[in-house]
Amino acid sequence: MTEYLIPNDLLNRLIDIGVCESFHELKERLKPEEIRHHKQMMIQSWQFWYPIAERLTQDNLKALIKALTVAESSLDGWQGGSVSAVIWLFNKYSPSDPENKDNLTDWILRHTDNYYVPFSNYGAKTLKEYYELRSAYMNKKRETQIKEEERHQDAVRRRAMTATQNIFASITRGDIKAVKALIQKGADLTACNSEGLTPLQWAEKCGGGDIVNILRQP
């Protein structure tokens, strides 16, 4: 497969469009064959885009991000999804210009229809909405985790309760394997049966020497 290269002339035109914010000129300043062929730029990896970003000024990098954000939404086949060029370029821009990062983020959200740009945005159309949606998502995630933990603990308790109920019968049968399994399931060895005896006391009464030794283990 031939390695993709973006012509400097095309790159400069995109930057110029972003600087002037003349996004309505995208389809005029890019020839139809360029739109068809160079749509692949939107799915190039970070290894492709990082060196390009590093040789641009901050203003030109921001302009390119804006141009590609609009191009992705308006040009056929330029959708990059979760590997969009905008993601990689924004990753290079944001650490070097933290003061303007939020402004650019808000601008991108207002102009993109890509769920992953400039990061997973929950479908937000402004930065304020993004923070609200993210907070709601995190709260919902925590609630789900709490409920899952409660269900898990309830299952553990019910399993232990059943094991406790069954261990006396297993001791009566002299079923060493079952006794070991029920201990592993959390049988309460301090619980008493109808005669007021613990599993150990019941095993001693039933004469199960091996089981007694098992129940005496810490």
CATH number, domain with residue 191: 1.25.40.20
Q: Are 133 and 158 in contact (CB under 8 A)?
A: no
For residue 126, tell me if it sits in a domain: no
Count CB neighbours of 167 within 10 A: 27
Give the count of domains, the chain.
2
User: What is the predicted pLDDT for the residue at 1?
Assistant: 53
Helix count (H) and strand count (E) of the chain?
Answer: 11, 0
For residue 141, tell me if it sits in a domain: no
68 against 218, higher pLDDT: 68
Count CB neighbours of 49 within 10 A: 22
99 band by pLDDT with thresholds 50, 70 and 90? confident
Pair (105, 62) in one structural domain: yes
pLDDT in tens, 40-88: 999 999 999 999 999 999 999 999 999 999 999 999 999 999 999 999 9
Pair (16, 109) in one structural domain: yes
User: What is the predicted pLDDT for the residue at 207?
Assistant: 81
Q: Where are the beta strands (DSSP E) in the chain?
A: none
Q: At a CB cut-off of 8 Å and minimum separation 6, what does 75 contact?
A: 26, 27, 30, 35, 39
| Structural domain for 156, as ranges | 147-216
209 band by pLDDT with thresholds 50, 70 and 90? confident
Q: Which of 25, 108, 98 is nearest to 65 (CA)?
A: 108
| Distance from C-alpha of 163 to C-alpha of 177, rounded to nearest angstrom | 13
DSSP conformational letter for 208: -
| Distance from C-alpha of 10 to C-alpha of 214, rounded to nearest angstrom | 78
pLDDT in tens, 101-134: 999 999 999 999 999 999 999 999 999 999 999 9
DSSP conformational letter for 189: T
Q: At a CB cut-off of 8 Å and minimum separation 6, what does 114 contact?
A: 72, 73, 79, 80, 81, 84, 86
- Mean pLDDT (whole number) for 138-164: 94
Pair (104, 160) in one structural domain: no
